[in-house]
Structures are given as structure tokens and as C-alpha cells.
Structure 1
Amino acid sequence: DLMDFVRHMEIQGVDPLQVTADHVKCYKRALLEAGLKSATVARRLSVLRGTYHQLAAKGLIAWETAQDIGVVKAPAVQKNSTPSLTERQAIALLEAIPTDTLQGIRDLALMNVFFITGCRVSAIVQACVGHLESDGVEHYLHVTEKRNKKRRKILLDAARPLRVYLERAGIGDDKEGPLFRPMKPDGTGLERRHLDRKTPWRLVKKYCRAAGIDPDRLGGRGIGVHSLRKTAINDAIRNGATLHEVREFAGHADIRTTEVYFVRKEEDAEVAARRIHIRVSGRTGK
């Protein structure tokens, strides 16, 4: 980010130590006109603020200059702007995964686990075979979420494709080994290591295209690594999950994070009113 700014200033013939707030404003405008996302521009401006604050602390530029750069307003970043799939699109994605190869069987299990658990990518790719549990009725996956929080996630319909994957891969007894593993370069089997964080994202894009969905245009900004989690949360909400149920499902520490997913409508107030059962039948007053 910083080198991009330095190169931009060099093209303009401006020494980085002679930069003013006006130069930063022009840089911001150039980034937006080039089509960069607001979040990207905001991040780059944050880097510049920190850099010029450090330069001022070392006496290389005036504090007034650093302060002026620090108050250059970043573009608004829409909260919860990560695009998600609709229920129909998610089903189409699952149906587009071929199950006549080990990789396809693995991918179907992986996508089902994401859609059912709503876990972050890091939690799923770090899971081991031994983190699976069954009480004889339901199947669960123990994951380590954000801030090292341990959670037990019910697998429901994801349990069956996961069992098929374990049997086909022959890794069911390797309790200490990774649950989801990359294919060997020659395609003959799986390597005994965890998937990297980017693999699920690449797979979603791959199967979106196979299902006739353009992943680069989804939501106007393209699908991201957080899209699977958001898809699961949104589907739970669409099917009647309450705010507190969704908070527990998503593992949000702050309920305000969960509230972002809920779109408030006037009809919500009417529904709430109809849930009130304080009634005295037959008395209407005069």
C-alpha cells in the first residue's frame, strides 16, 4: 500500500517528505476513479496516516502536516458489505460439485460443513479428524473460533457427505490428522496437511461458475472468503432465526455485530405488536 503511494507521488514529481493533505486527497480521488473498493482506499489512507505520524515523531516532517493528513476523510465503507449467496444459489453450487472423484467428494463435504455451521474459514481448515463427535443421534464438529473460543457445531445434513468423504479418503482413523486436506499434485490422493485459507475461496468461485453464477460480480464486489459464513447466517435469518439465536450460531461477542445482519422494516413493529397478548375480551370502552 505504501509503495503504491510512493510510486504515485514519484509520477507526480512530489518528494514523499513534501507531501501535503492536498496530495493525499488527490491520491484518494485517483484510487476511487480507478475503481478501487472503498474498503481498499480506506485501508491505504490508514497506512498513510500511520506512516506520516511516525515521520513527524522522528522530526522528518512537521506535526501540522501529519495532522492535516490524518484528518483526510476516508470513503464510507458499507457495513456488512460482504456479498453472500441466496439459498437457491447455494443449493445450485452444491449440485454443481461432481461426486465421481475424491476431490469432488471432499469439496461437497467441505461446502456442506461451511453452509451448515456458518464457521469462519480459519476454523474449518484448522479442524482435525479427531474433532468430530457423535452422541449416537447427532454429529458434531469441535472448532476453534476467533479469540481462541472453543465451540461445538452441529453438522445436521453435512454429516452424511462428511462420512462419505472420510470413508473414500481412508482417513477416518487418523484422529490427529487434518480433516480437510489438499490433493496430491498427481491427483492420486490427499496430502497429510491442512488446506490453506484461500482454497475454500477458490473452490467457491470454481463451483459458482459451474452453477452459472458469476462470482466476480456477486453483490457488486465479488465473492470473498467471508461469503460462505454470511450465506449461512442470512439463510438462518430468512428461515426465522431470532437475533439471539443467530448471535449464538455465529459466535458474535458483541450483539451489535449480529444486528448488522438484520434489516429492520416497519412490518417488524406490526409483527411485534401482534405478539402482545395483553387482551381483555369484550371491553371496548366508550
Structure 2
Amino acid sequence: MNLPANLATSAVLPALVSAADERARFRFLEFFTAQIRNPNTRRAYGRDVAQFLDWCAVQGVRSLGEIHALHVAAYVELLTQSHAAPTAKRHLSAIRRLFDWLVTGQVVPANPATSVRGPKHSQREGVTPILSPEEARHLLVSIGDATLIDLRDRALIALMVYSFARVGAATGMKVEDVYMQQRRLWVRLHEKGGKLHKMPCHHSLEAYLDAWLEASKLRDEPKAPLFPTFRRGTGRCAGGGELTRTAMSQPDAFAMVRRRAKAAGIETPIGNHTFRGTGLTAYLSNGGTLEKAREMANHADPRTTQLYDRRRDQVTLDEVERVLI
């Protein structure tokens, strides 16, 4: 078999894989292209596996077949000393899944990660910073509607707040994913694992999306990205530049969120995922149920929804203020 030229170069492969035969290299690449469909998981697993294999090479390992459980266990132990437990567990999961694939492809005789146990980790509450309803409202109002970029950014943040959308699902939307049903605007989110999730729009989100689609003239282009980037310097629209037909990336959204938060005077180091937790907590604080929150957030496991429930934070703050000194 002949590998495509752009995949066969050693620049994209860890040294131990690059030094292996063509069948092993092909099987390695096949794992990431055929087995890992989610692009975010693919990127994370790719980094994790490359880091592990590079570490093995530094330890004197000369081939994939020389990697043993001792190597994996030592590597995971080192990770737990410098990283959070979930990070170490994700690295171990990536290594284990890759070697399962290599074993079934008869590249290596056994999976060295099978018997290695990851660090214990129990998480009852998420760690992503969230905003209070007042802060989220202030952020949206502070963006305004002076330029197309303002309208786009406000609509994207509102979508993540009011529909609990993951940033990947939000930035991956096309114009046709905003549609009318039952006299209300709905959004269609393409979630992880190819799941299709539909949500009716909150009236505020409906107004923000309508304003963006009307001003951008994207309503007549159903296949265009809902949240495209701008080509600066063309002068076509004030404060923005010409609209491209390239969707914003997650790093684009993160940079935008940080910039908007700073301009609004919000000191909390928020990110893309902040708005999912913010929306869910606001919903639960106003009488929503965990069962409905799980459905709206499209969580397979209700325990995942509970991680976003930050109502205890307010209780703790109230109790702390009782220390009248």
C-alpha cells in the first residue's frame, strides 16, 4: 500500500511511528482518520499520543513493539504530578485506544496500556468559570449593534447562553440551521458524535439572530456558515471588513469572547464553555429541572448535567457573608 504523500512525511508522525514500516504508519494514521470522527477529540488524542511516544523515544525505546506496561505506568505517574487527574486519564485513554487498534491490525503483539490504571478522580462540580445572569446580560448589552462584527459576536454568545450550545456546534452551524417552526425561531445543532439537536429560541436569542441575519444579508444563503469570519481592510462594512464564507474556528471564538469580556470590564477568565454553564445554572436557578436541563443540553448522562449546576456557589457566598467581623 502507498501512503498519500502528505501523510507519509515524517513531519506529521512521531519518531517511533516514522521509523516503523509502512503498514504500521498506515495503521497509525488510519486510527485518527477512521476511528476518531470528532475533530476536537482527534486533535486532543493526537497531541496526547505524540507526547507519549516522544517521551518513550527519549527513554531509549526504539520501536512500538518495545513499549511495555511499565512505560505507560511511569508516564501516567509523571503526568499526575504535573497535570490534573482528568488530563492524565485522557492521555491513558488515548494510548489504550491507539494500541488496541494497533493490536487488531497486528502491528504490535499486545496492548501495554491494558493493565495500567489511571488516577482516581471524582468530580461533583465543574471547574469552568461561569457568569452570573447580571454579568451575562451586561456582556451582551455592552457589545451593542454598531457594526456587523458586533451583531455577529452578540448573536454567537447569545446562542451559547440561551441554547446551552457547545462552541463547536455553534461555530459549525449554517444559516439553514436557523429556521421557523410553530411560529418561533429554532436552531439545529450538530453535536458530538453526529447527534442532531434542535432547540426553540429564547425571545432574546431570536432577536439577536434576526438582527444578525438581516444586517449580514446571509438569510438568502442557507449553506453559508452562520458565523463567518471577516476579511479586514476591504471597507465594505464599518468596523468589520468584508464577510468571508469561512466559519469561525473555536480559537477565533475564544479570542472574541476574551476580548469582549475585557471590554465589558468582566475580570473572570471566561472561555467558550462559560456560556453553557452560565445558561444551565440560570435555568436551574429559576425553577428548571435537571431532567429537562439534560435534554436541553443534549447530555447522555445526567451526571454530566450536574457538573454544570453551580447553584451551590451562591449558597456558599451567602454563608460566607455571615462571618460578621
TM-score relative to the length of structure 2: 0.64
Choose from 140, 143, 148 the match for 2:186.
140
* 1:62-116 CA-partner distances (Å, limit 9, x unpaired): x5xx46x422221234546351412244334334435432212210121112111
Q: Does the 8 Å CA contact 2:228/2:247 hold for their aligned counterparts?
A: yes
SS in 2 for 1:158: helix
Corresponding residue of 1:85: 130
Aligned residue identity for 1:4: Q
Q: Does 1:70 align with 2:114?
A: yes
SS in 2 for 1:5: helix
Aligned residue identity for 2:278: T
Corresponding residue of 2:90: 43
Aligned residues: 253
Q: Which has the higher contact order (CA 8 A, sep 6+)?
A: 1
SS in 2 for 1:141: strand
Structure whose alpha-carbon radius of gyration is higher: 1
SS in 2 for 1:182: strand
The sequence identity of aligned pairs, in percent, is 26
SS in 1 for 2:247: coil
Supply the distance in 2 between the matched residues of 1:39 and 1:121 (Cα, whole angstroms).
21
After the TM superposition, which residues 236-251 of structure 1 pair with which residues of structure 2 at under 5 Å, given as runs? 236-251=283-298
- Counterparts in 2 of 1:231 and 1:84: CA distance versus 1, 3 Å: farther
Q: Does the 8 Å CA contact 2:80/2:88 hold for their aligned counterparts?
A: yes
Q: Does the 8 Å CA contact 1:141/1:155 hold for their aligned counterparts?
A: no
1:28 deviation in Å? 2.0
In structure 2, runs of 5+ residues without a counterpart are 1-47, 234-239, 313-325
Q: Does the 8 Å CA contact 2:143/2:154 hold for their aligned counterparts?
A: yes
* 1:45-71 CA-partner distances (Å, limit 9, x unpaired): 22333455566674856x5xx46x422
Q: Does the 8 Å CA contact 1:145/1:151 hold for their aligned counterparts?
A: no
1:228 deviation in Å? 2.4
Supply the distance in 2 between the matched residues of 1:133 and 1:53 (Cα, whole angstroms).
43
Q: Does the 8 Å CA contact 1:138/1:155 hold for their aligned counterparts?
A: no
TM-score relative to the length of structure 1: 0.71
Corresponding residue of 2:266: 212
Aligned residue identity for 2:243: L
- Counterparts in 2 of 1:249 and 1:150: CA distance versus 1, 3 Å: closer
In structure 1, runs of 5+ residues without a counterpart are 266-286
Supply the distance in 1 between the matched residues of 2:56 and 2:144 (Cα, whole angstroms).
50
SS in 1 for 2:208: helix
